Amino acid sequence: MIVPGNIYKFIACILLTFITMQGFADKTDTVYLYNGDRITGEIKGFGYGIMDFNTDGMGTLNIEFKEIASFYSNAYFDIRLYNGFRYFGSFRKAEVPGFVNIVTSSDSILKPLVEIVEFLPIKRVFWKRIKGGVDIGYSFTKANSVSRLNFTGDVEYRYEKNYAGLHLSSNSTTQDNSNASSTQDYTLNINRFFTGKSFAGIYGGAQSSTEQGINLRLLLGGGIGSNLIYTNHHKLKATMGSLLTQEYSKDDSISRNVEGLLQLQYKIFKFTKPEVNVTTNFNLYPSFTTRNRYRVEYDLKAKLQIISDLYFSVSLYYMYDNKPLNAEASKDDYGLSTAIGYSF
């Protein structure tokens, strides 16, 4: 019989037991190495040639794929091959070293590990499908009282063939007896992946640039794209489409435009100690409504791992408009910043 005064202790013990059992139940994945070792834990994902593998005794391990002979997991994954083809399913150990069985709802396919470039677990709980990172940097110079603050935030959501990405970027500078300047960029991408390397998506965003005389620029559009290169160390993506834009300049003029969109995104990852991750984007916006006008955006971000999910980043951005709305405004805007970031 349970004494009423101890009911909360009893419930706590039941919950603790359930959580503990659940933790052990999750860590049933097995990795078989070429050297004969076998490791049991939980596969957190794979990308850029590295499997993230969580264990009870050794924490999270980063296992290079070339060391893995085969592996097993009953979890549900989004699996991508080098040719862009995708599977949704689990993994079973293959008897032949260097291979794994991909188990879908209707079939079991034997695949060499070298053909797999990425797989991520598809979580049943919404918040577990979200990942991202936050960077914050600040500097102050006493001699001229210049204060600089930069912030970047990225959030990604993936579920089977759907992807949503939110990017937030802010760079501001203030100085005594001088007008403050800032550059803001907030964008949202929603993509739908097809068979092979192609995808389609919609794009929305808001921007501002004190240097270019833009108080606010609103963007909405869409396009189609393809993953031109998709390997364990390099990814190159191209997108083309069109956008509707509405611009508010600092002299209170308003301009509505239709622009084209040509975008290239390149990522490279180097698994060394420390890890290095570089992402660069190039966007070209030729105007369909203003003759001979075009805009260019370029950014580059390099991340250097400090420890675990903490990293140091260096970011560069450049914006160019050959025909800004305000004739007195600068045609270009650029900046370089450093920050400390955390990925989740």
Q: Can you give the three-state secondary structure of 172-213, one letter per residue? A: EEEECCEEEEEEEEEEEEEEEECCCCEEEEEEEEEEEECCCC
Q: How confident is the model at residue 264, as a pLDDT? A: 97
Domain identity same for 105 and 137: no
pLDDT of residue 269: 82
pTM for the full predicted model: 0.77
Residue with tokens 């080098």: 82
For residues 118 and 80, is the Cβ–Cβ distance under 8 A? yes
Do 145 and 40 belong together in one domain?
Answer: no
DSSP state of 287: B
Rounded CA-CA distance 185/100 in Å is: 43
Number of structural domains (the chain) is 2
Q: Environment class of residue 33 by beta-carbon count within 10 Å: exposed (0-12), middle (13-18) or buried (19+)?
A: middle
Same domain, 266 and 240: yes
Q: Are residues 114 and 134 in the same domain?
A: no
Amino acid 25: pLDDT? 42
Task: Give the separation between CA 243 and CA 329, rounded to whole angstroms.
Answer: 23
Domain boundary among 122, 154, 169: 122
Report residues of the chain scoring pLDDT below 70. Answer: 1-27, 124-128, 271-273
Question: DSSP secondary-structure letter at 123?
Answer: -
Per-residue model confidence (pLDDT) at position 178? 76
> How many C-beta atoms surround the C-beta of residue 125 within 10 A?
7
67 and 139 part of one domain: no
Question: Which position has the token pair 């949503």?
Answer: 164
Within this chain, do residues 84 and 220 fall inside the same structural domain, yes or no? no
Q: Are residues 102 and 138 in the same domain?
A: no
Which residues are within 8 A (CB) of 70 and not within 5 positions of it... i.e. 6 or more apart? 32, 93, 94, 96, 97, 98, 99, 100, 113
Rg, C-alpha atoms of the chain: 24
Last residue of a domain, one of 122, 137, 162: 122
Domain boundary (104, 122, 140) is at: 122
327: three-class secondary structure by DSSP: coil
Residue 211 neighbours by CB under 8 Å, 6+ apart? 181, 183, 329, 330, 332, 333
Q: Is the dihedral of CA 106, 112, 113, 116 positive or negative?
A: negative
Are 146 and 266 members of one domain? Answer: yes
Residue ranges making up the domain that contains 155: 128-343
For CA atoms 107, 112, 113, 118, give the dihedral sign. negative
Q: What is the pLDDT of residue 11?
A: 43
